[in-house]
Amino acid sequence: MKKKGGKELPAISTASLPDVIFMILFFFMVSTTMREEEVLVKYQLPNATEVQKLEKKNLVSYINIGVPVTHMQARYGTAPQIQLNDSYKTAKDIGDFIAAEREQMDEADRIYMTVSIKADRYTKMGIITDVKQELRRANALKISYASLEAEGY
Amino acid sequence: MAGGNKRKTPDINASSQADIAFLLLVFFLVATTMNTDKGLLRTLPPMPPEDVKVEDQKVKDRNVLLVFVNAQGNIMAGDKEMDIYGLKDKTKEFILNVNDDENLPEKAPTEIEMPDGTKWTYEVSKGVVSLQTTRDTNYETYIMVQNELTRAFNEVRNEVAMSKFQREFTELNDEEKSVIIDAVPLKISEAEPRKVGRRR
């Protein structure tokens, strides 16, 4: 009962491969949050061990603080700047910024609004304190000092 | 033309479909920022209305642990200079006040409602850690100090959770967590910076 020649393995059909890839693709498309703003300051976040995750991304507003990126330094110098949305602002503009951010949220969610302060580790506290005072004035009291999770000391 | 009456359309070769899908996939893989934002969460005190003159809240000296960080990164806790490594234990000692020391914060027995409806009386510390900086203090040092303070509170919470629920704080459910948070509130006051050594 022997057929002549070895039995050849049939080639595995790769017809479903595109489907699999498309599935992964859709997963990434859905989970991707495109960076909508250009970061105009250089910051290296400080390290901390007791960090907590920020749960709801759409309830978080960001304030970047640091030295302007290289191509902006010609115009703005190397003093630390506060970036709100897409431009450099002063601490005085934070009130308007918070109001605008609040406007975009659902009314029920507004109390959960968190402001994430992404500041460079070599910033001085003076500028941070100004920002904090403005946030207090704008009644945005939940803040997060963005930091990198470190293993410990 | 005279051959078959119908000419069959040839199948489109679909083997490149996978390549196209791969290309898109790689694009999204690269463009995706899976950055989970992490940070030290804090709640700022509300701003008092400007027309109202605030009287300094009288807090007893024993209930305040003053932590001061100067521009050189030196840390002072209580009235002693100390390094970053001693700060956590100092803070823990301050919050817990195990021996009811006269110089450490008072405790107020507070009834806390447990998830199962019973009441639990815990001696909640009245202590407040007051963190002060100068305008020239480095942000990194500030975060390190904040981190140590948080660590002290987290460890105390862990200990209380261990004795109350026999589990670590992070393993508790939300209701149990809020019980522990009521028992050990995170009381770090971030005062405005001191105006020391202002020279022009």
In DSSP notation, B136-181 reads: TSBHHHHHHHHHHHHHHHHHHHHHHHHHHHSS-GGGS-HHHHHHHH
Q: Does A145 touch chain B (CB under 8 A)?
A: yes
Does the pLDDT of residue A4 top 70, yes or no? no
What's the confidence (pLDDT) of residue B64? 85
Q: Does A144 touch chain B (CB under 8 A)?
A: yes
Q: Does A120 touch chain B (CB under 8 A)?
A: yes
And the tokens for B14? 């679909």
* Least confident window among A5-14, A56-65, A124-133, B21-30: A5-14
Does the pLDDT of residue B55 top 70, yes or no? no
Mutation target vs B (from A14, A33, A122, A147; most B CBs, 10 A cutoff): A147
Does the pLDDT of residue A145 top 60, yes or no? yes
pLDDT confidence bin for B120, thresholds 50/70/90 = confident
Average pLDDT for chain A: 84
Does the pLDDT of residue B33 top 80, yes or no? no
CA distance A129 to chain B (A): 7
Mutation target vs B (from A44, A133, A145; most B CBs, 10 A cutoff): A145
CB contact (8 A) between residue A21 and residue B192: no
* Percent of chain B's residues with pLDDT above 90: 8
pLDDT in tens, B140-180: 999 999 999 999 999 999 998 998 888 888 888 888 888 88
Does the pLDDT of residue B185 top 60, yes or no? yes
Does the pTM exceed 0.80?
no
pLDDT confidence bin for B198, thresholds 50/70/90 = very low
Separation CA A83–CA A120 (nearest Å): 12
SS3 B117: coil
pLDDT in tens, B59-109: 777 888 888 888 888 888 888 888 888 888 888 888 888 888 877 888 888
Nearest CB neighbour to A34, from listed B31, B43, B154: B31
CA distance A34 to chain B (A): 7
Does the pLDDT of residue A153 top 50, yes or no? yes
Does the pLDDT of residue B127 top 60, yes or no? yes
CB contact (8 A) between residue A52 and residue B40: yes
CB contact (8 A) between residue B39 and residue A54: yes
Separation CA A87–CA A98 (nearest Å): 15
Chain A: residue whose CA lies nearest to B153: A50
Query: Which of the pair, B157 or A22, is modelled with greater confidence?
Result: B157
Topology adopted by domain A41-149: Nucleotidyltransferase; domain 5 (3.30.420)
Q: Which residues of A touch B30 (CB under 8 A)?
A: none
Q: Which residues of A touch B67 (CB under 8 A)?
A: none
* Ranges of each domain in chain B: 54-105+126-170
pLDDT confidence bin for B122, thresholds 50/70/90 = confident
And the tokens for A144? 């997060």
Q: Which residues of A touch B25 (CB under 8 A)?
A: 21, 24-25, 28
What's the confidence (pLDDT) of residue B50? 65
Range B105-130 average pLDDT: 84
What's the confidence (pLDDT) of residue B34? 62
CB contact (8 A) between residue B143 and residue A142: no
Q: Which amino acid is at B106?
A: E
Does the pLDDT of residue B1 top 70, yes or no? no
CA distance A83 to chain B (A): 17
pLDDT confidence bin for B56, thresholds 50/70/90 = low
SS3 A82: strand
Chain B: residue whose CA lies nearest to A144: B41
Handedness of CA A125, A126, A128, A133 (dihedral sign): positive
Range A133-153 average pLDDT: 85
* Least confident window among A119-128, B33-42, B72-81: B33-42
Adjacent-strand bridge partners of B111: B121
Does the pLDDT of residue A65 top 80, yes or no? yes
CB contact (8 A) between residue B139 and residue A29: no
Q: How far is CA A152 from the centre of its chain?
A: 23
